[in-house]
A and B are shown apart, each in its own frame.
Chain A
Amino acid sequence: MSDLIFPFTAIVGQNEMKNALILNVINPSIGGVLIRGEKGTAKSTAVRALADLLPKRKASDCPFHCDVSRKNNVCPYCLEKIDSGEELELKDIKMKVVELPLSATEDMVAGTLDLEHAIKTGRKKFEPGVLAKANGNILYVDEVNLLDDHIVDLLLDSAAMGRNYIEREGVSFTHPSKFILVGTMNPEEGDLRPQLLDRFGMAVDVKSEKDVESRMDVIKRRLEFEKDPESFKESYAAQQEELMERIIAAKERMADIVLEDDALKMAVEASLYFGVDGHRADITLLKAASAHAAFYGRTSVIREDVASIANLVLTHRMRRNPFQESTIDAEELNKWIKSI
């Protein structure tokens, strides 16, 4: 029973969070999502539920499942094969949600020496860690604000370069580590390091349902699921299938996306209006808007796409008075979105 995942489509409400997750799957270059919210609001459930909706991808059969279409970012094993002109075996590999537990030690995250191999053969061999497993997948950190600083540093390095460099215990190794970073946190428990906050392409604030009807639905579905997970999943199979197909179609459509000038201008306008630093926000706005358009079956990005995702991209980037809550800005954002 513990291995059965609650169906994504059975989660009541929380549409912003669900959208943010789906858009990242459609376009991984958005840069992940940070989900903030009070305790017990299905944050972790939603992220783990995403696993059932993830598409397959073509990748090499090496331990890192390299994306060989990017020849400059493959592991040493694949590179050797490519250089020697050998044919690489490709496989359809389903994307996964790889979890990084808070108690993880540095060696297990970065990867380390394979002890068994070393004792038996006297040779050093690299043993992949979480960052290797995460390549091409979703890397999920629950309670990301409580993650130890030295692990955060490892994450930041890999997230920035898409590659993990290891120098430890006499092992020197490097491999691709490109992942969609998803973090969940309860702000009551403490703040997130600003560098890490910056890494997230999107941020969503979730709250519990406040009306009796939906709250009842939450309880009912949970009870049904606990009672008989298989048949509960069965009853959502059609919806799950439909959503998954829609995601796959949108992913394929991404290649044909055309960014209209109109939408582009609007993204820049939005960043300027809200005083967001740097160009990363503009670019992320466009990437997210593209994914949004693709999800809604279009190949051209329109103003509505930008407006729909602006909230997700801008809230955590707004420059604000250090002694002020961000709520006023959020209101302003909503006003601005409505004004178009």
Chain B
Amino acid sequence: MDQEHLNSGTIDFPFPAIIGVDEAKRALLVALVSDDVHTVLIQGGTGSAKTTLVRSVSGISDREVFNLPLGTNDDQVFGIIDMEETLLSGERRMMPGVLEKSDLNILHADDVNLLDHSLLDQLLESVNRQKALVEREGISREYPCRTTFIGTMNISENPMSPHLLDRFDICVRIPVTDDMDVRYQIVRRRVDFDADPEGYVSSFNDEIASIRKQINDARERMPYVIIPDDILTLVAELCIKLGCEGHRGDIAVANVSKAIAALNGHDIVSLDDMKEAAHLCLRHRITESPENSSSSSSRSGNELSSSEPPPMSSDKGSGSRNDSKERNEETTGDNDVAEDTVFAVGSTFSVIDFVSLKPLGYMGSSKGGGKHEKIRSPDRTGRYIRSEIPKSEVNDLAFDATIRVAAPYQKYRQRGDMAIVLEKSDLRQKVRERKNGVSIMFLVDASGSMGARKRMVAVKGAVFSLLKESYQNRDKVGLISFRKDKAEILLPFTKSVDFAYKKLKEMPTGGTTPLAAAILKAHLETKKEQRLNPGEKCYVVLTTDGRANSSVTGGDALADAMNIAATVGKDGSAIWIVVDTGIGYPHLDNALHLSERLNGIYLRLEDLKADNLAHRIKSIVKNRVIG
């Protein structure tokens, strides 16, 4: 258990020596000053000193930093019955979890976004309430947890749901620095530290002492800090204008601005104190759908007169480029586009629940129907939900249940030196459960023919609508486009729908149609995904007009595609949804035939819209007649 205690044995890099992370430092100081700020999230790229920074906090305060390892389960967090002690003493003894151990101290979770969703949810709830409630495996108790919880995460992977984000009082981003001098300084300091850690730390003694004093002075001032009504009015207005849901943001800004005032030596919260607090507390609360991420982040920047670094790519620029391309494209009219063109994303709509549609003749598991059902975990991962009499060999012993079964007989068994005697019939197996994931691969025809009459605009709109749906369901999504002789994975399976949207937006159109290669590629990707995550349901949404003119074998491109489709369809590991984007006259039935061979579901592009239910029914019926 020593491992969860970060300070033991090692010397931490000193807090004042860390540079380029001013906002994050400020956030930590605020958390140390205010007893009403319980949770801080620090986002940053790899190697941005997130963890170093959190560890260094023990140097500037009397609080210890406890670590929450990534593979943590409920027992380790909330506590568990101490079987050894309980059996030896005959009385129930507890083994406290890290939440209880870190009471009045700091609990740090690195890669906090990778923690189990419901575990993190409850952890945050407990910390914010300063009280934990446990009803697990023989324990029923309540205990205080006045812990400051600091989560760090890598910004580029697995974004957290807005629901979880909202539970963090403060969220800061560590900017990427490309300032030569700053970079030099960072490396210089690290090298010096590694050469002589103790000597290096002691060279910062004065600075550390002054930070400690600043914190202590601020803590003493805290009870007397007043927040004027006109500032509070501004806080409320700001939160309304920025579209923050709920009141946690407002309250956080108020609390944090008091701490900032105290740190600045003010007795009355000033406008600047409040502004700084708003930066710390509201960035993660601004309602940001992937759709308008660029506009709302620039909006937040304006509202807060932001000093944050410029966004990665200038979205405005690419937007206007799209516009001009679109205009060009309008003049091209019905013709296919030969050159690469980036089409805008068309209008979005609410989509039908396409995943609950079952293809004709689909023989896979249809239990539950809902796509997000939980499944019994075949291995030892997942949450322990209950115990059962083992059906075969015991490989995951349910200790608590086993002991309970054996307990009444202990008086009558020959125990010798042992505290407890178990017989084979006492053994109980753990039943674990984990969430059944859903992965959706979007396989988008981006060949020249899709450029005709702006079909690509509509297709992008449709795919984006589907992405939005996936965002709400926390599905994994991926994106493959096919054009110019090859299918290209623009985005492997990820939970970042945001990222998928960006890729989709930038996806160019133009060139030939390698349909067969595309089907094969998507098939291989989903197979790979299922190997990595057994039990996961995979969907492939193929948008195509049913035309193919680039073959794998060198023969007829369409026949080629049909053959591969038939093979993939027989395999049946993924569910295929073929969205026919073909319009106009004469309408080709290729896409329909393709869906039959894939053993999939056939929909017209317009059928995807939730209000076009009638169309959808018609198309399914049609499918049945022909099939």
Contact = CB atoms under 8 A, between A and B. Distances in A.
A109 interface: yes
Contacts of B473: 190
B138 A103 contact: no
B121 interface: yes
B433 interface: yes
Contact of B249 (A40, A106, A120): A40
A215 B232 CA distance: 9
B246 A223 contact: no
B437 to A, nearest CB: 14
A47 B462 CA distance: 41
B452 interface: no
Given A188-B163, A212-B237, 6 more contacts: A119-B90, A130-B135, A188-B161, A208-B247, A219-B235, A223-B255
Interface string A205-219: 000111111011011
Contact of B245 (A38, A107, A112, A123): A38
A216 B407 CA distance: 58
Contacts of B613: 323
Nearest to A212: B236
A118 to B, nearest CB: 4
A216 B231 CA distance: 10
Interface of A: 1-3, 38-42, 99-109, 112-113, 115-116, 118-124, 129-130, 142-143, 146, 148-150, 169-170, 186, 188-190, 208-213, 215-216, 218-220, 222-223, 226-227, 322-324
B136 interface: yes
A104 B403 CA distance: 19
B247 A120 contact: no
A323 B352 contact: yes
Contact of A103 (B118, B236, B352, B372): B118
B407 A100 contact: no
A227 B223 contact: yes
B138 A39 contact: no
A115 B137 contact: no
Contacts of A40: 166, 245-249
A120 B90 contact: yes
B162 A39 contact: yes
A116 B86 CA distance: 8
A323 B255 contact: no
A106 B383 CA distance: 12
B506 interface: no
Contact of A220 (B232, B385, B409): B232
B121 A108 contact: no
Q: Kindly list the 8 A-B residue pairs having the minimum CB-CB distance in the complex, ordered from nearest.
A: A40-B246, A122-B411, A118-B407, A40-B248, A215-B236, A104-B135, A108-B135, A2-B130
B133 A1 contact: no
Contacts of A113: 404, 407-408
Contact of B433 (A148, A190, A215): A148
B131 A218 contact: no
Nearest to B351: A323
B537 interface: no
Contacts of A112: 138, 404
B86 A215 contact: no
A220 B250 CA distance: 10
B118 A170 contact: no
B460 to A, nearest CB: 22
Nearest to A146: B118
B161 A189 contact: yes
B233 A212 contact: yes
Interface stretch (B139-147, B296-304, B538-546): B139-147
Contacts of A324: 610
B11 interface: no
B134 A2 contact: no
B91 A116 contact: yes
B247 A41 contact: yes
A226 B255 contact: yes
Contacts of A107: 137-138, 386-387, 400-401
B484 to A, nearest CB: 38
Contact of B78 (A3, A103, A209, A227): A103
A115 B138 contact: yes
